[in-house]
Structure formats: C-alpha cells, structure tokens
Chain A
Amino acid sequence: MTTEKKDFQTQFEEWKALTEKLIEKFPEKKEAFKTSSGIDIARLGHPESLDENYMEKLGLPGQYPYTRGIQPTMYRGRTWTMRQYAGFGSAEETNRRFRYLLDQGQTGLSVAFDLPTQIGYDSDDMMAKGEVGKVGVAIDSLDDMEALLRDIPLDKVSTSMTINAPASVLLAMYIVVAEKQGVSQAQISGTIQNDILKEYIARGTYIFPPKPSMRLITDIFAYCAEHVPRWNTISISGYHIREAGSTAAQELAFTIANGIAYVDAAIEAGLKVDDFAPRLAFFFNGHNQFLEEVAKFRAARRIWAKIMKERYGAKKPKSLQLRFHTQVAGSTLTAQQPDNNIVRVTIQALAAVLGGTQSLHTNAKDEALALPTEDSARIALRTQQIIANESGVTDTVDPLGGSYFIENLTDQLEAYVFEYIQKIDDMGGAVSAVEQGYMQREIHQAAYETQKKIESGEEVVVGMNQYKLEDEPKPELHRIDPELQRKQIEKLKTLRAKRDQRRVSARLEELRSGAKGTSNLMPLIINCVRDYCTVGEICGVLREEFGEYTGI
C-alpha cells in the first residue's frame, strides 16, 4: 500500500516536471495567476494525497483517462478556439461575414452550407427550390468555393465545415483552393463533420445508404492520414442528437456508439487504429442543466479513452484523447423575449468551458427567429470573449473536478453510457441500431416527454410558459436576398458554358468506375472538382452507383 502511494506521488512529481518542461516550450498566458485578493491560483486543484481511486477516475490533466482535460495547462496556455458557425446567401456575402468575424477576433472559421449543397443538389435542381442560400452558403462548384475563401490565408486559419454526405466533395474543393493559393494540402487544417450516422438519427441530410456512406468516410480517413495530416476527418456529433430531443446521457451514449462504428469501419477497411484515431474529433451540445453538462464533457473524455485503450488497444496518447467542439443548444432559445437568450447562451457556454472544450460556438439571440444579424452575431462572440477574459474560470484547470456532486454525476453518466453501448453492441452495433430505428425512437420519446413537461409547466421556460410579455416587441431580422436563387442559377449556367465539358464528362466517368470498384474515391473527386464538376454532378454519379437512402 505504501509503495503504491509513493508511486502516485512519483507520478504526480513526474507530471509536474513534464508540465514545467511543456511550459518552457509553450508558455502560459501569465507568469503567475492571482485572484483579486492576491491569492495564488494553483494550476490544478487536487486532493492532498493521490490514491488509486483518484488516479483511476480522474488522473492528471493531459494524462489517461483525461477526465480533467487533454492538456496539462488547459486554458492557462491557450484559450479555446472561438469558432462561430456562419454562412448564408452567396459565397461573396459569406466571405464578407467571415472577414468581419476574423477582424472581430474570431480565431477559426466555421462554414454553414445551404441544404441543397448538403444534400448534393445543384442550385438549379428542382429539389433546391426555395432553399438556395437559406441556411448557409450555396456552393455549386470550385468557382463558389474560391469566392468563399477569397483573401483568407488557408495556411493560418483553420476551417470547420458542417458537411456530411458530400464531405469528400467539399474537402476536395478546399484542398484545390488552398493549392491555388500556394498552400499545400499538408499545411491546411480544419474539420469536416462527415458524420453520417447522426444524419440518419437526427439531422436528416443523408444521401446514400449506410454502407457506401461508410466507405466514403473511411476513404477520407485513409486519404487524409497520408496527405492531409492536420485535418480532422470527422466530427462525431452528439449536437444534433441532443437538439432532436435526447437526454444528456443519450447524447453521449449514441455519439460514442457512432464513434465505435467509425473505428470499426476504418479497421475493417484495413487502417491501423493509431493512424486515423488521432484525427477523430467530437462535437457536443452545451445545454441547460449546467452541472450535468460539465459532468457530461468530463465523462465523455474518460469513456472514450477507456474504449480506445481497452477495446482497440490504441497506443498513441492522441488516439486516446477526446477533443471536442461545443455549440450551445439552439433548441433552448426562445422566440419570445429573445434578449433572454443571451443569458442562456452564457450559462451554456460556461458549462462547455468548465467541461474543457477545445472550441466553442455561441448562438446568437435571434436564432429561434431567423439567421443572426451582424449585431447579434457579434454579441454571441463577445459572450465567449467575456468568459475567456473576464470571468477568471480559465486560470485553473478543471475547477469543478473533485466536487462530490460533479464526480458522482460523471460516474453515473459513464455507467449509463456503457449500459447503452452494451445494448447497441447486442443489436449489432450503431449502424444496425440506426437501421432498426432504435436511437430515433429513444430520442423521440425523450423529446415528447420534454414537450409535455413544458406544457404542463413542470419545466419552466422563462418568457415562454412563465413570465410572459403581453406585447412582444418585433426585433429586426436578417433577410436573405430573395433574388439569390436566380443569381446563383445564372452563375451556374455561365460556369457550365465556359468549362471544358469533355474533361468534365471524363472525370465523372472515372469517378463512376471508381465507385463501382473499391479504390479510394478521394483522388477521383479531387480531379472532378479541379475541372469544375459541380456538387450535384458528382453526387449524381454516386447516387446512380450507390442508390439513395429513403429513411425507415
């Protein structure tokens, strides 16, 4: 017993020494951190002596099981990336908003695409009617992508793209635009969402059936492991599962179960776990129920580390670390008294920060009504800047760690998740659970329960079912240019007329035969976009070869 105790003490001393060495290379933001009263702020709060229980459950930040965070210094070293999701209308208009956000101190880009792009239709497709440029930017071809990223240094800015079914196409465009800027694919960094399973479960922008979809995903894993090493090849997302109405435990469980399915698919495709696992990223929801959210993020890290180590035998620390982006919960915003949403967002964002998020999107107050205006988008960004710079919560690592309540909740969420994972394993894994509609049903049930609680008043929503206003003021809203679809179609027509049609057809045919076979599709898709094949044409070929998913 005494020897063990000494071991933990030694481990702690080693951790301290390692951390000091790290700080020499990557200094913390200040030499010394102090409270307003002049009290020294410790890098890490911890029990007087570290015992087995502590080391097994919490460990030290930057070390297995990463409950307390994935870096030893966390935000004392570097603040999370402030990454506001934006995109609307035309590529030119969105480019202006991006440059505005970068000027305002945002540190990463996050692209919202319109629905036709996300579902692989060109702007002139019949299915695209009314949808062009509405929920994001319309991208038909490389031409639009070049306009979207004009004058943005792709070797410096990291870009997250919310794109799933056609993720390969948009990533290919990004690679080619960078290449034209003189930036190699090895230098670019960013994330594609590329998480098709949650599309079937909760978000709805699927195109192909599960099997070929999983192939497209593992093709990206393989291509990027070799050529685009700084790219996060997937962002396994619980966000939309939660938005669709799940509980926090379900959000965590289904996301991790999906993560397991991707790892399985990649291994089955012949990849080595330590080759692709470091580039897996996660995306969670920052919801109400502040303390449960903090526990959720901490539990997520511990669960993933355990799974990667024990189930897959991953060796690299980066394979074991769960890195995640957080967006606060859009579904908790009210259309009534929208200013109150700023307060909701603040509390939710704070939970994400205390949970150790790597990047954060704070919602704008008017998102229950329309896309954000420039003003409301700025307030949303300011909210995280205030947390980062004024609240002081960034001065110490995992400040809530060790709280009886938080640790207990973390343990219970973990137990809940492993129970769900067992159930999903028994069903044959996440892909088969999705095909059986299992997660969809669980989520819907939870959503309906919540609705009933809100309507009965058991759950109070301030300004909506209590503390209502008689006359709601009507705020200014952001409008999309109604002419946009017409203009975008014009642009597309011009492109089709001026590009080399023979090359386009040839590229598409190469893609078709690739799809029939088993070779990696990424290089073929890159060739397609380079010759200005459109998103709709590329996805059209794949639709013909792979078929379409029609729901269950």
Chain B
Amino acid sequence: MKKIRVLIAKPGLDGHDRGALVIAQALRDYGMEVIYTGLRQTPQQIVAAAIQEDVDAIGLSCLSGAHNELFPEIVSLLEQRDAGDIIVVGGGVIPWEDIPFLESKGIQKVFTPGTPTKDTAIFIEKAVYERDGIEQSIKEPPKKIDHIGIAVTSLEEALPFYVNQLHLQLEAIEEVVSEGVKVAFLKIGESRIELLEPIGDAGPIASFIRKRGEGIHHIALAADQIEDRLRELSKNGVKLIHDTPVKGAGGANIAFLHPKSAGGVLYELCSKATKEAE
C-alpha cells in the first residue's frame, strides 16, 4: 500500500519546534512519509507545500497562541484550492476552550500536550483510510486479561473466602445500576477478580444464576480501539451482544461478545484509563 504522506508545519512566528520535530520523527517511525516545513510559515506557504508535495494530511504546531487565526485560514485556503480532502490536525499550547471552535472550522483533531505520539499516528492513519475507503484491520491482540467475572448470590457470603482464605485485597465495591449488579473488585497481579451480585431479579446476572447457578460468568480482555474491533469482528461474522461500547464498572468502555461465537465463553472487551491512585 502507498505510504501515507504528512506535512508537519509551523504556522506563525514561534520557534518552538521540539513538538513538531518529535511528531515528525514519530510519524516516520510509524511508517509514514513526513515533510517538515521549518519555522515561520504563512498559511499560503503551508497550503502550497501541501499541494505540491501531494500530502494526505497536515499536522500544524503552534505554541504562540495564534492558532485561532492561522489554523482556520489554512483549512479555508485548502478548500479554495480544491484540496479540502487533505486532513488537517493540530497541536501545541492550545487552551481547551478553543478546541470546539477549531474543530468547527475543519481542524479534524487537536492534540493537547501529553498525547502519546502513537495516538496521533493512529488518528491520522484512520482518517486517511476512512477518507480513501480503505478497510483497516487490527492485528494487535488484546493486552491482558483485565478481570474474570464471577457470579455470586451474595457478596457478603462470597467475600470472606477471597479475603480471608486467598488473602486477596478488596479494592472497591460499586453498583452498576444499568446492569442490575453490585460488583466487588479484588486485585490479583495485573488482573482482577470481579464478584458480581445481582440487584433484584431482572438483570443478566440474576438470570445467569437462575439458569446455571453461581460460578464463572465472563472473562474480560483489556483492549484499545474497541469500536474498530467490534466493527471488524461483526464484519467477520462474530456475533456480538453490544455493537458499540457501553459504560461499565469503574468508568470503563466495555462490550460483550456472544458466547455462541466463542465456544460457550462469554468474553468482554474493555478499555479503561489508568486508575487514579489515592
């Protein structure tokens, strides 16, 4: 496949190009072809370079506060020159309150300080593939077993075994009302055991216990890009319980796959932000 071409540009007058240079190198290492404009480029110069170099995307970096004036001008110049299909993203010292404005002006994404460079690369790749109608395949496996869910009739009765006999540490207990369940988290190495107690008779855990009794309910796999994975799984004929992610315990994004497609095992995909340490 043709390599994605990206122009990294410094509009305006500021000379802080550490970010631009690091991004340029990271995108190159990711497998893209990258052209860097150098400092102090006018919107006209940037647009001309983008068209001449036939790039798929432009990454703008500005740390001087001139982004509200300069970024939209670049997008509108691209449109005037029939190059509106070039994807424009930006970064730098950009206050959060300016981001909706920039996005409304056609900047597809603003990456704030602290964004891993890989996220930027993945975003650009996805946007280019989507624009060009290229299907993207995810080959990266899930990272680890996030947790094993075990259905119990009563947390109060089940917990002493885990805490007193296995000496696991109880981290938290939380109610997820939408799923009709109360969850206890027990940390074990990089993973967790989640004990699930039904609230009322209606939820999925209640019906699981009625049909099969207490026991292992599901295995959760930690994975990013859940939406893309679900799309791909569904396209490949894997039956899903959730077509799009929903909010689960601990604020994670989760989705269940159907056991019919997984040899009778109920798998969950989940992605969560690192837990805030106390």
Contacts and interface: CB of A to CB of B under 8 A. Distances in A.
A116 B97 CA distance: 25
Top 3 closest A-B pairs, CB basis? Answer: A204-B15, A130-B69, A130-B66
A171 B67 CA distance: 30
Interface in A192-234: 199, 202-205
B66 to A, nearest CB: 3
Interface stretch (B38-46, B167-175, B189-197): B38-46
B15 A131 contact: no
Interface in A102-143: 115-116, 118-119, 121, 126-131, 134-135
A191 B28 CA distance: 42
Given A335-B113, A455-B117, A469-B276, A134 B66 contact: yes
A195 to B, nearest CB: 13
B96 A369 contact: yes
B270 to A, nearest CB: 15
Given A447-B22, A451-B26, A131 B13 contact: yes
Contacts of B67: 130
Interface in B37-87: 38-40, 42, 64-70
B18 interface: yes
B42 A127 contact: yes
24 contacts: A118-B13, A119-B13, A127-B42, A131-B13, A134-B66, A204-B14, A244-B16, A334-B114, A335-B113, A368-B93, A369-B96, A370-B65, A444-B21, A444-B22, A447-B18, A448-B25, A448-B26, A451-B117, A455-B116, A461-B114, A465-B116, A467-B274, A470-B251, A474-B96
B180 to A, nearest CB: 24
Contacts of A47: none
Interface of A: 115-116, 118-119, 121, 126-131, 134-135, 199, 202-205, 243-245, 331, 334-336, 368-371, 444, 447-448, 451, 455, 461, 464-470, 474, 477, 480, 551
B12 A335 contact: no
B12 A130 contact: yes
A130 B14 contact: no
Interface in B71-123: 93, 95-97, 112-114, 116-118
A131 B63 CA distance: 11
A370 B93 contact: yes
Contacts of B116: 455, 465
B74 to A, nearest CB: 11
B277 interface: yes
Contacts of B17: 204, 244
Contact of A331 (B12, B18, B21, B95): B18
Given A115-B14, A199-B15, A334-B113, A130 B70 contact: yes
Interface residues of A, dominant DSSP: loop
Contacts of B40: 119, 127, 204
B134 interface: no
Contacts of B13: 115-116, 118-119, 121, 127-128, 131, 205
Nearest to A203: B15
B1 interface: no
Nearest to A477: B95
Nearest to A202: B15
B212 to A, nearest CB: 34
B251 to A, nearest CB: 6
A135 B65 CA distance: 7
A204 B39 contact: yes
B65 A480 contact: yes
Contacts of B96: 369, 474
Contacts of A455: 116-118
Nearest to A134: B65
B249 to A, nearest CB: 13
Contacts of B112: 335
A480 B116 CA distance: 29
A202 B25 CA distance: 17
B95 A369 contact: yes
Contacts of B114: 334-336, 461, 464-465
Given A127-B13, A336-B114, A451-B22, A135 B64 contact: yes
B138 interface: no
Given A119-B40, A129-B66, A455-B118, 19 more contacts: A115-B14, A119-B13, A127-B13, A127-B42, A131-B14, A134-B65, A135-B14, A204-B17, A204-B39, A204-B40, A243-B16, A244-B16, A368-B93, A369-B96, A444-B18, A448-B22, A451-B117, A464-B114, A466-B277
B18 A129 contact: no
Nearest to B15: A204
Contacts of B118: 455
Contacts of A121: 13
B113 A115 contact: no
A468 B273 contact: yes
Nearest to A454: B116
Contacts of A116: 13
Nearest to A466: B274
Contacts of A369: 93, 95-96
Contacts of B273: 468, 470
Nearest to A245: B18
Given A130-B70, A455-B118, A467 B93 contact: no
